[in-house]
Amino acid sequence: SLHVLMTPASARQFFSSLVNAIPGSRKLLFLPLSTRINVQARQAALTVYETCQSTARKTHWSRWLPRVIALKILEMQYAGLRQRYDNNPSAIGLCWNGLDRSRLLFSIALKDAGRACMYAELAPLPGFLTLDAKGVNFLSSLPRDADFYRRWLDQQPASEEWRSVGLQMSRRKVKVKRTIQSDKRPLPNGPFIFVPLQVPGDSQIRYFGDWITSMAHLIETLHVASRNLPEGWHIRLKEH
């Protein structure tokens, strides 16, 4: 049976549709609690807590709540999840991206119980969502080998009707009003490095940005590096 962690609120409509479509599915509006805390619960809680300290937004409770209280809550939640799933071999978990505190703890507990977990996220193309058994975005099961995508392109019809999907793509709406000056000049010919940008504060930057700390930092780094590009090369940036 499918067990769906119903967070964040923006994903609940999608999750509810899945639960209604798949018989036997269950909603988890919050993580269960148990006082049966063991060494494994303490280790999982510590892993999630330390991850949140370095990646969670500063306003998240895991950043300002006293360490001893935060760890105890996480330990009890992990123990509650294990109590629910250790003896439920048919359970399959589903959560949104599996990165933030409750979702990360949910996925860890399911894996420790020997259960599968699926991860949902917005797909790169408009109007689609993605489900992956490994993770999302940087952690997804998509091949890292460029030849995989070249072979896929070679198998597409000569009409290239699949490119029409790209016409539906648009810039993400910004929350802060600003004046944007568009450059209508055609892109230069020649080899280039393609760099897709993210929204500021996105979990992909917070978790996997490594030494790149923000989009502003990335753009500044690209500006400096562009001075050393080979002759005839240029950089192309794509807004999120």
Whole-number Cα distances in Å, 88 to 92, 116, 206, 226? 9, 11, 34, 55
Mutual angle of helices 67-85 and 39-55, in 10-degree steps: 120
For the stretch 25-57, pLDDT in tens is 999 999 999 999 999 999 999 999 988 877 665
Q: In which band, very low, low, confident or very high, does the pLDDT at 60 lie, cut at 50, 70 and 90?
A: low
* pLDDT at position 172 over 70: no
Beta-carbon contacts of 139 under 8 Å, excluding residues fewer than 6 positions away, are 98, 119
Q: Write down the pTM of the prediction.
A: 0.80
How many secondary structure helices (H) and strands (E) does the chain include?
8, 7
**CB-CB contact of 165 with 17 (8 Å):** no
* pLDDT at position 96 over 80: yes
Instruction: Please count the other Cβ atoms lying within 10 Å of the Cβ belonging to residue 74.
Output: 25
Instruction: Please count the other Cβ atoms lying within 10 Å of the Cβ belonging to residue 117.
Output: 23
